[in-house]
Amino acid sequence: MKEHVQKVGGSKLLKGAAVLSIAAIFTKLLGMLQKIPMQNIGGDIVFGIYNTVYPFYTILIMLATAGFPTAISRFVAERHAAGEEAGKREVIRMASLVMTILGVGGCLLMYFGAPFISRLIGSNQLIPALKSSAPALLFVPLSAALRGYFQGLQDMMPTAVSQVTEQVVRVAVMIILLLYLSGLGSTDAVIAGGALAGSTAGGIAGLFVMLMYWRSYRKHEGTMLGATNSPSRGASLPEQGQGWPLLRSMLSYAIPICLASLAIPLISLVDTFTLPRLLRESGGEIETMMAVGVYNRGIPLVQLVTMIATSLSVLFIPAMAELKMKGDHEGIRRQSTVALRWFWLIGLASSIGLAMLAKPINVMLYGDDVGSGTMAWIAWTAAPGALVTVSAALLQGLGYAKAPALHLLMAAAIKLVLNVLLVPQFGDDGAAIAGIAAYAVAAALNLALLLQRAGLALRVRDALLRPGAAALALAAALAALRLAGAELPPGRLAAAVEALLGVLLGVAVFTAAVLRTRLLSEAELLALPRVGPKLLRVLRRLRLLR
C-alpha cells in the first residue's frame, strides 16, 4: 500500500512538472512573439516605449512575487503532509497579506511616481505606459500566492491554467487596444500606454481563474471535513508556526530566491535606465524612443534561443543532483561535458544564423531593414547566453545556487559601464556590444567555477577547433544563400522565403558538420536526460549515425 502511494505521488509530481513546463514554454513564447505585431501596428516609437517600461514593470512584479510562491508551496506542503489544515490556512493568510501590501505599494509607486521615474530614465513619453501598467500589481501578487498554495498540494493545473489565461488575455487586449488607439490617431505615448494596459487585463484574468480554483477547492475541502466529521489536526499547531514567527520564516526562505531571480532582468533594466538618456545626447525625445525600438527588434529572437535553452537545461538539475548524491564523479563529468557541448553548439549556430540572416529576418518580421546591423550584433549574445543558462543549471544541480546569480549581477555592472562608454560613440550597436561582453563574462565565470567543481578538463580541440569548423561550414552555406538572395525582388515575402530557407539550410549543414567532425558520440547522445535515446533513434533512422 505504501509503495502504491509513493508511485501515485511520484506520478502526480512528474505530471505536474510536465504541465507547468508546457504552460511556461507557451506563455514565454507568446510573450516574445507578441512583440512582432506590436511593432508592426504601433511602429518603432511605441515599441521603444514599451520595451523601456516593461523591464521596470517586470522588476516590480518580481520584487512582489518572486520567491514567495516557492516559500508558500514549501510551507503548505509541510503542513499538508502533517495534516495541519489550520496551518495551511495560516500560511496562505499571512502570504496573501504580505503580497497584497507589496502589490499595493508597487502600484502606488509606479502610478504616482511615473513622472519621477520617467525623468530618471530620460523621457516624458513613458508616463502613460508606466501608469497603465501599475494596476496589474494589485492582482498579480495575489495570484502568485494562490499558485504557491496549490503547488504545495502538488496540484500544478491551477498555476498552468491561470498563467496561460493571463498571457492570452494580456496579448489579446494589448493587440485590440493597439489597433483601436492607432485607428483613433492617438499619440505614440498613449498607444504604448494601451499596450501596457494589457498587463492589467491579464492580471485580472489570471486572478479570476485562481479564485475559481480556490472556491472549488474550499467547497471540496468543506465537504471532505464534513464527511469525516473529525477535527483538524492543525488545531494543535505550535505557537511558533503562526503569526510573525511564520512570516519571518517565510521571508528568510523567499528573499534569497527573490534576489537571485532579479539577476537576469537586471541586465535589461540597465538598458532601461541608460539607453534613452545616452541616446538622447545625439537626438530628440521622439528619435530616442525610435532608436530604442529599433534596438529591441533583435532581442525577442535571442530570447527565443534562451527560452529553448532554459527549457532544456532544467532536465540537468535533477540529474546532476542525483549523481552528486550517489557520489558518481565520473557521471557528473560526463553529464557536464555533454551539456556544455550541446548548448555551446546550439548557441553558436544560433548566433551565426541570426547574424547572417539579420536583414531578411528584419524585413520579414518588421517590414524594413532598419537596424539590421544592430540585430546582427545582438545575435552574438545567443552563444554566451546559452552557456550562461546551462552552466547555471549544472551548478544549481551541484548545490551552487547563489554563484550564477552573483555572476549575472557582475555582468549587469559590466553592461552598465560599457553602455556609458560605447553608446555615445556607437549608438545602438554600442549597447549590443556591451550585452555580448556582459553575457560572455557571466558565462566565463560560471564555466570557471563548473570546471573546478566538476573536475572537468577544457580541451581546445573540442571546445573551439571542431565547433569552429562546423561554424565555418554553416557560415559558408548561409553566405552562398545570401548571394543568391540578392537576386530576389524586395519585399516581405521574398525576405521570408530567404530567411526560412536559411534556417532550414543552416540546421541541415550544421548538423551534418557536427556529425562529420564527431563532435557528439553515440555515448554522449545517450547521456542526455530523457531525450538522448529518442534523438539517437531518429538520427540512426535518417542514417546520419551508423
pLDDT band per the 50, 70, 90 thresholds, residue 301: confident
Residue 311 has what pLDDT?
67
Instruction: Return d(Cα 92, Cα 89) in angstroms, integer.
Output: 5
Each as own residue / partner, the long-range contacts of residues 116-122 (CB below 8 Å, 24 or more positions apart, any chain) are 117/56, 120/273, 121/52, 121/56, 121/272, 121/273, 121/276, 121/277, 122/276, 122/277, 122/280, 122/288
Q: What would the pLDDT profile of 430-475 be if each residue is shown by its tens digit? A: 999 999 999 999 999 999 999 988 888 777 777 788 888 889 999 9
**Residue 543, amino acid:** R
Instruction: Return d(Cα 452, Cα 311) in angstroms, integer.
Output: 25
Residues in the chain, overall count: 546
Instruction: Return d(Cα 235, Cα 85) in angstroms, integer.
Output: 8
User: In 388-458, which ranges are E strands?
Assistant: none
pLDDT band per the 50, 70, 90 thresholds, residue 421: very high
**How large a percentage of the chain has pLDDT more than 70?**
85
Mean of the pLDDT values across residues 73-79? 81
Q: Which has more pLDDT, 287 or 115?
A: 115
Least confident of 75-79, 198-202, 241-245, 387-391: 241-245
Burial of 19: CB neighbours in 10 Å, binned 0-12, 13-18, 19+: middle
114 within 8 A of 52, measured Cβ to Cβ:
no
Residue 231 has what pLDDT?
45
Residue spans of the domains in the chain: they are 12-228+241-261
pLDDT band per the 50, 70, 90 thresholds, residue 531: low
Mean of the pLDDT values across residues 339-355? 91
Residue 304: Cβ within 10 Å count: 17
Least confident of 92-101, 190-199, 346-355, 524-533: 524-533
Residue 6 has what pLDDT?
39
Mean of the pLDDT values across residues 143-149? 89
Residue for grid cell 485590440: 176
pTM of the complete model: 0.78
Residue 227: Cβ within 10 Å count: 8
Q: What would the pLDDT profile of 250-270 be if each residue is shown by its tens digit? A: 877 777 767 666 766 788 889
Q: What would the pLDDT profile of 2-33 be if each residue is shown by its tens digit? A: 343 333 344 555 566 667 667 777 887 888 77
Mean of the pLDDT values across residues 319-327? 76
pLDDT score of 230 more than 60: no
Least confident of 19-28, 43-52, 221-230, 361-370: 221-230
Residue 487, helix vs strand vs coil: coil
pLDDT score of 175 more than 60: yes
Question: What secondary structure does DSSP assign to 264-289, as a single string?
Answer: HHHHHHHHHHHHHHHHHTTS-HHHHH
35 within 8 A of 47, measured Cβ to Cβ:
yes
Residue 303 has what pLDDT?
82
Residue 5 has what pLDDT?
35
Mean of the pLDDT values across residues 155-161? 87
262 within 8 A of 62, measured Cβ to Cβ:
yes
pLDDT score of 542 more than 70: no
Residue 357 has what pLDDT?
95
Question: What secondary structure does DSSP assign to 291-360, as a single string?
Answer: HHHHHTTSHHHHHHHHHHHHHHHTTHHHHHHHHHHHT-HHHHHHHHHHHHHHHHHHHHHHHHHHHHTHHH
Mean pLDDT of the chain, nearest integer: 83
Residue 235 has what pLDDT?
41
Residue 261 has what pLDDT?
67
Q: What would the pLDDT profile of 162-174 be if each residue is shown by its tens digit? A: 989 999 999 999 9
